[in-house]
Amino acid sequence: MATANELLAYGPAWAGLEKLPHMDAAEFERWVALLRQRTGMSMPRERKSFLVTSVGLRMREIGYNSYSAYYDFLTSGQAGNIEWMALVDRLTVHETRFFRDSTAIGFLEQECLPELCERVAAGSPVQLWSAGCSTGEEAFTLAMVVDHGLRQAGQRLSYGVTGTDISLYSLAAARQAVYPPRRFHNIPAVLRDRYCEPLDKGAFRIRDSLRRHVCFAQFNLIDAASSPVASMDIVYCQNVLIYFDRDMRLRILDGLGRALRRGGVLILGAGEVIGWKHPAMERVGGPEVLAFRRISDEWVRNE
């Protein structure tokens, strides 16, 4: 078997085997500040090894040997902006699955869906926002739930789902809507044939009949307060806020709530925020679900 030094002789393909340079405390804080400034994400000291590995391996891939030189490249010029998006893909977690939170999905089906059907019956199309959609499973889950519910109620399929994420890589995968076999069994059996098209080797694609109701766009949640998104019936944001500190979470929540119409519902992941209150929102869903309904047309920033 070849040694690490022998493998390194083959060139850049094996550069990841060479030990990464040391990142001192000041350098770490510099990178943490950049990450927070551009994405709003918090990087505690306990995750320093993750940051060092993610940044170090990526900078080696494109030919940089020092964190400071790579930092300077990222913060200057259009090429640096493009490279930043590649690095963000390394620093954000893309793990997700269809119907990930059964409790939240149950709340959507039982408490929200009847009202959505009523709105469609009254001639109003419904809109849902999957904020932090990763590779699309969450957005397609919302679409399946609403599509199936409208069909059962005999209503027009007048709905749309918008999935947003900061990662261009994740969004590209979401638009392809092709998933490996292990994802298939997360989808309830009653929905699989209608919404999934089988491919080779057990993979599957979301059918066009559902995909036409779903669109994807790049969006940074720290900009939620200034987002033009408005009049949403459902804003679904799960396992995203945990990456931000409390102050940033509150700013993001303020923006997500503002995006709702009166009567619209914000559904969060359990435990993602504690004690949030807003005069235009009321807590709904019981103790098992973290959800809020907008009860006022007026919206003021919650200081």
- pLDDT tens, residue by residue, 30-78: 999 998 888 888 888 888 888 888 899 888 888 888 999 999 999 988 8
* CATH code assigned at 80: 1.10.155
Do 138 and 172 lie in one domain? The reply is yes
Q: Is residue 15 part of a domain?
A: yes
**Are residues 167 and 37 both part of a single domain?**
no
Task: Give the pLDDT confidence of 171-185 residue by residue, as tens digits.
Answer: 999 999 999 999 999
282 sits in which H/E element: strand 281-284
> In which residue are the tokens 């499973």 written?
137
Query: Among the three residues 40, 69, 91, which one is the final residue of a domain in this structure?
Result: 91
Rounded CA separation 202/199 (Å)? 6
Examine the pLDDT at 7 and tell me if it is beyond 50.
no
Predicted confidence band at 79 (pLDDT cuts at 50, 70, 90)? confident
pLDDT band at 15 (very low <50, low <70, confident <90, very high): very low
Say if 282 falls within a structural domain.
Answer: yes
Q: What is the mean pLDDT of the chain?
A: 88
Residue 302 within any structural domain of the chain:
no
Distance linking the first and last C-alpha atoms of the chain: 62
Least reliable range by pLDDT among 68-77, 81-90, 233-242, 292-301:
81-90
pLDDT (average), residues 264-273: 91
Domain that holds residue 11: 4-91
Q: 20 and 154: one domain? A: no
Element (H, E) at 27: helix 25-39
The verdict on 232 and 179 lying in the same domain is yes
Residues 63 and 116 in one domain: no
The helix or strand, by DSSP H or E, that contains position 142, with its residue range, turns out to be: helix 137-152
Question: Scanning the structure block, which residue is given the tokens 């408005």?
Answer: 230
Please name every residue paired with 105 in a beta bridge, in sequence order, or none if there are none. none
Q: In whole angstroms, what separates CA 62 from the centre of its chain?
A: 27
Q: What's the domain count of the chain? A: 2
Least confident of 34-38, 112-116, 127-131, 196-200: 34-38
Confidence of residue 224 (pLDDT cuts 50, 70, 90): confident
* Residue 87 predicted with pLDDT over 90: no
Residue 301 lies in a domain: no
Buried b (16+ CB within 10 A) or exposed e, 175-204: eebebeeebeeebeeebeeebbeeeeeeeb
When pLDDT is cut at 50, 70 and 90, the band that residue 85 belongs to is: confident
Q: Are residues 192 and 284 in the same domain?
A: yes
Residues 19 and 129 in one domain: no
Going by pLDDT thresholds of 50, 70 and 90, the confidence category of residue 302 is low
Confidence of residue 8 (pLDDT cuts 50, 70, 90): very low
